[in-house]
Structure 1
Amino acid sequence: MKLSVVICTHNRSELLLKTIESINAALIPDQVDLSILVIPNACRDDTLNKLTEYQRNRHLNKPLSLEFVEELAPGKSNALNKALEIIRDGWICFIDDDHRVDANYFPSVIAAIEKYPGTKLFCGKIIPDWTGKEPTWAHETGQFKITPYPVPYFDLGNKDLLLSEKNSIPGGGNLIVAREVFDKVGKFSVALGPKGHDLMGSEDSDFVLRALQAGETLRYTPDIIQYHYVNPEHFKLRFLIKKSFQRNRSITLIHRPDKIKVPLYLWTKLIQYLVGTLFSFNFNKSRFYLTRFAGVLGQIAGHIQSRPL
């Protein structure tokens, strides 16, 4: 079985190398033809040098073969689509450059594909790679839980699930797709997704939704696990506000690509969250209301902005 790992990266060489290291350390079933394709996207750091060094030293410790091809046009969707031009068959395992894979990641992928031969899309868990240095509020699960979460987190439990548009739609950080699906539903939307580290997203969710609407099936398999790097900077208020705005804007653009009138309920929510921010007199509550306020602003921006095709 042919598996191609695709990693798109932008100016994060240190994290990228840790991701590649985790792939090399994972168990590789004998029946798997596995390769790694890295797409450096408009990188200005030492990413290209580090990848060249990897190739030069590949004979040491017998690491997996690795190919890298630059995509100069900024934007993760451009990088993803570059990978699709290169990979023409088999299965693609999408792994973010700030993830590490579980030791049993590849055996779990193979087991899922063999168990569900009619399924062309799989996803699994994304778990924060906790260090113990994160603030206590990061583990808040109650009324004032921050959403979207500072660290990507996707866990639908410990049972296999058939997902639909009514379920939680996974991001692309732990997505496995048969290459033929892209020939059927098209590539990633270049109007969505991050450019650099601007926190836009939803290019992956948009693709998944189009695949589901085209009749493909998506299964959640809990044994397919990746761990997401926990960046201390992501717990700062400025980051939380920016992420909430950008992610809500991009999600709105998925469902409403054309300009429409902003619904009255969003203006009502905006006022409610502003009042909550001003009169909570508690920093945990203020943080919650500020991020919700930013999220509603993102939704409003998504309504008044048309999405280029």
Structure 2
Amino acid sequence: MELTVLICTHNRAALLEKTITSILACRRPENCDISILVVANACNDDTLKTVQKLADNSSDIPVRYLEEPIAGKSNALNLAIDNIPSGYICLIDDDHRVDSRYFESVAQSIRQYPGVPIFCGQIIPDWTGDEPAWIHDKGKYKIYPLPIPHFELGNAPFRVNRNNKLPGGGNLIIERKVFDSIGNFSTALGPQRHNLAGSEDSDFILRALDAGVDIQYSPTIVQYHYVDNDRLKFKYLLLKSFQRSKTIMLAKHPQQRTIPKYFWAKLANYFFAMFLPGGIARFRYYAMRVAATLGEISGLISPR
């Protein structure tokens, strides 16, 4: 079994080192050929030096890198795909660490579900205990989307469909031949540098489902997302709500150019609800809903 770990990164040398170190520390399943490919996307920090140092110190897993000078995660992903001829591509974000059984779980899932070309697993916030209490609120005013990605659909495996929450690109395993049939990642979507855009992964998953490609959720494939406390600030919450809502609308409705009337009613309801009594939790919740609705409207009328 051939597994290529693909990490696209932009100016996160310190986090990238932690990510690759966690990968190199994983248990190795038998009869697996594992390698790591890093794509440095418009980087001007110590990314290449960091990768080279890790490559020099890795005796059993080859580590190599490519450079993509044009900013945009999709550009980096597509460059890598064009340079991986076969096998399975394991997508890991540069601010993740993997569970020590990651490769064992990937190999087991591939062998358990022969013929399935795409797998997804869990992404769990790597909480440190330093985060504010409101981030864990499960009540009426819990925030969403979470500023720290969290993808967890239970402990039972199942086939993904459009009725499920769509998996993010930070924990996908994709057989290389899938790209030959449904195409690469859309360069009209996805983050550029760290601008909080996204949905290149959602667009890809939707195209795969529309083409009848099986996608298996395997809960034992686990990664942990680094918790940056700067993401827990009000400005970041609003910006992410806007950007992610905008790009998911672009992914789901690429031809839509009109705004349904109910969007305006929803926006007005959320706006006025912000100023009703209920404390900071209520205000934060409805402010994020306002930002998300504005993002949806922007996504409906923006060219793709």
Deviations 1:128-182 (A, max 9, x none): 1010011111111221111111110011100011111111110100000100000
Percent identity reads: 50
Structure 1 residue identity aligned to 2:282: K
Asked if the contact 1:90/1:179 (under 8 Å) is kept, the reply is yes
SS in 1 for 2:8: strand
**CA deviation profile, 1:46-100 (whole Å, cap 9, x unmatched):** 1112122223334xxx352101000001000000001001101000000000000
Query: 1:162 maps to which residue?
Result: 159
Which position in structure 2 is the counterpart of 1:104?
Answer: 101
1:146 aligns to what? 143
CA distance in 2, matches of 1:56, 1:227: 26
Quick check: 1:14 aligned with 2:11? no
* Partner amino acid, structure 1, of 2:16: L
Q: Distance in 2 between matches of 1:304 and 1:122?
A: 33
Amino acid in the other structure paired with 2:7: I
Give me the whole-angstrom Cα distance separating, in 2, the residues matched to 1:155 and 1:55.
Answer: 32
Question: Residue 107 of structure 2: SS of its match in structure 1?
Answer: helix
- The 5 Å alignment of 1:200-211 reads 200-211=197-208
Cα distance, 1:125 vs. partner? 0.6
Residue 262 of structure 1 corresponds to which residue in structure 2? 259
For 1:48-59, what aligned pairs fall within 5 Å after superposition? 48-58=48-58
Report the counterpart of residue 243 of structure 1 in structure 2: 240
**Aligned position for 1:78:** 75
Q: 2:292 aligns with which of 282, 292, 295?
A: 295
Q: TM-score, normalised to structure 2's length?
A: 0.98
Equivalent-residue separation in structure 1 for 2:48 and 2:275 (angstroms): 48
Judge which range, 184-193 or 272-281, deviates more: 272-281
Mapping 1:124-139, distance limit 5 Å: 124-139=121-136
How many residues were matched structurally?
Answer: 304
Letter paired with 2:8: C
- Equivalent residue, structure 1, for 2:184: 187
Whole-angstrom CA distance in 1 between matches of 2:53 and 2:16: 13
SS state at 1:145 partner = coil
| Divergent runs of 4+, >3 A | none
**What does residue 211 of structure 2 align with?**
214
Output the CA distance in 2 between the equivalents of 1:162 and 1:281.
41
- CA–CA separation in structure 2 for the residues paired with 1:157 and 1:129: 18
SS of 2:119's partner is strand
1:279, CA displacement in angstroms? 2.4
Partner of 2:38: 38
Q: Which runs of 5+ in 2 are unaligned?
A: none
For 1:280 and 1:101, the matched residues in 2 are separated by 43
1:119 aligns with 2:119: no
Structure 1 gaps, min length 5: none
Q: CA offsets, 1:170-208, max 9 Å, x none?
A: 010000010000000000000000001111111011101
Give the whole-Å Cα distance in 2 for the aligned partners of 1:49 and 1:16: 11
Structure 1, residues 243-288: CA drift from partner, whole Å, max 9, x if none?
A: 0000000010012113421111111111111111122351111111
**Contact 1:162–1:217 (Cα < 8 Å) also in 2:** yes
Q: Is the 8 A contact 1:258 1:305 kept in 2?
A: no
The CA distance in 2 between the partners of 1:271 and 1:63, in whole Å, is 58
For 1:280 and 1:27, how far apart are their aligned partners in 2?
53
Contact 1:253 1:302 in 2 (8 A): yes
For 1:175, what is the secondary structure of its paired residue? strand
Q: Distance in 2 between matches of 1:25 and 1:56?
A: 15
- Counterparts of 1:43 and 1:74, CA distance in 2: 9
For the residues of structure 2 that align with 1:114 and 1:81, how far apart are their CA atoms? Answer: 27
Normalising by structure 1, what TM-score?
0.96
Alignment RMSD: 1.0
What letter is aligned with 1:190?
Answer: T
Following the alignment from structure 2 to structure 1, what is the Cα–Cα distance between the partners of residues 219 and 53? 35
- Contact (CA 8 Å) 1:259, 1:305: kept in 2 or not? no
CA distance in 1, matches of 2:301, 2:229: 33
